[in-house]
Structure 1
Amino acid sequence: MRCRARVVGLVDGRPVDGERAAEASTAGELLEGLGLQGRAAVYASGRRLEPGDRLPEGCRGVAVLAPPPGVLVARLAGPGERVDLDQLAGLMAARAALLGGGALVAFMGFVKGVVDGAEVASLEYEAVEPHASRRLRELAERYASAPGVIDVAVIHHYGPRRPGDPTVYVLVTAETRGVAFHAAALLLEEVKHRAPIYKLERRSDGDYWVLGDGARLPRRG
């Protein structure tokens, strides 16, 4: 039969939320017809279908989540790159709603303009690769597997940032707000303390290294 299903998520790095059609009678055939085998999961009225499971009559209530629920995105964002937070949050909310979720927590950190009475000119982030990207993925996977969590997204900028510029995004969708708040807070702290991303704060009174706990050490030399 011709199955029209809603596809929601990121496909080849691009946001997608719309209907796509393919000839299919099983979940596996649908993914193959959409070119998403191994990269997505099929749901019918909130229940995940295995590849051999037959699709409901008329494909009612069928949705395809690409990638499957878990880590939607975990990556670094380069200098000058603009992250569309509204778009990302919208995709995550749409995916969660299809699975019975009802909460999304989004955190965005940005550069301070004043610290200890001194004006901040810039905050420079240096990411140690490939370790930084790998650690972001590992941390996101850990919290994505927590009970009640549906999707996790974490994006961290590197390079020079000006006061008011975004620096890090952490988003979590979950069945309840308590789960979402808890997972987002813990994930953020892990990113700050465990990801090998170093911060140099350039201020009117000198340059300072910024530690994960917010402490500042004067740069020597």
Structure 2
Amino acid sequence: MDRILVQLEDFDIGNEYAHLRMAANSDGAIVTFTGLVRELSQHGNLESMSLEHYPGMTEKALIEIAAQARERWQLGSITIIHRVGTLRPDEQIVFLGVSSTHRKSAYEASMFMMDILKTKAPFWKKESTAEGDYWVEAKQSDKQAALRWQ
């Protein structure tokens, strides 16, 4: 029912939606979110972002985030795809999709999972700009967003 992937390859939003739709059965709502690499960073214009992860540990953390969402809301299917490797501005970095009987649960669960993913999933991000390379920590605004779910 849950599909959790950490991969180098890009993903096709249409295919991911179709997969959720097939798995949703009688669910009345499907909510998706696609995150893109932003051009601007704290250190200037972004040339690229490198994402590293610890295989096995990262997938386990994403599975746990999906399980926590299931404890809070009645959900159908969940898909989380997070890319790793070197990405450039405007490339897709994350896809999250969730189905539920009702839209409120689907919306809230997707917001919860993204807020927690941004602060708890073990990804290490390094931004490359004309000024140099910089390791990125979770933003204060992301930490605040995650706190509202406690």
> TM-score normalized by structure 1?
0.59
Structure-2 residue corresponding to 1:84? 12
- Determine which of 83, 102, 115 is the counterpart of 1:157: 83
Residues in 2 aligned to 1:147 and 1:191: alpha-carbon distance in whole angstroms: 17
Alignment of 1:6-155 (within 5 A): 70-71=1-2, 73-78=3-8, 81-96=9-24, 98-99=25-26, 101-116=27-42, 118-155=44-81
Letter in 1 for 2:15: Q
Q: Which has the bigger relative contact order, CA under 8 A and spacing at least 6?
A: 2
Tell me which structure has the larger Cα radius of gyration.
Answer: 1
Preserved contact between residue 43 and residue 131 of structure 2 (Cα < 8 Å): no
Letter in 1 for 2:20: M
Letter in 1 for 2:13: L
Q: Does 1:194 align with 2:124?
A: no
Residues in 2 aligned to 1:214 and 1:207: alpha-carbon distance in whole angstroms: 21
Residues in 2 aligned to 1:188 and 1:125: alpha-carbon distance in whole angstroms: 17
Residues in 2 aligned to 1:82 and 1:116: alpha-carbon distance in whole angstroms: 25
Letter in 2 for 1:113: E
> TM-score normalized by structure 2?
0.84
Match of 1:149, SS state, is coil
Q: Does 1:203 align with 2:129?
A: yes
RMSD: 1.9
Q: Does 1:179 align with 2:110?
A: no
Q: Which has the higher strand share?
A: 1
How many angstroms does 1:205 deviate by?
A: 2.4
Q: How many positions carry a matched residue from both structures?
A: 141
How many angstroms does 1:82 deviate by?
A: 2.4
Structure 2 segments unaligned to the other structure (5+ residues): 142-150
Residues in 2 aligned to 1:158 and 1:85: alpha-carbon distance in whole angstroms: 17
Structure-1 residue corresponding to 2:96? 170
Structure 1 segments unaligned to the other structure (5+ residues): 1-69, 216-221
Q: Percent identity?
A: 24
Match of 2:77, SS state, is strand
1:95-139 deviations in whole A, cap 9, x for unaligned? 32x22x111111111111123582110010010222111111221
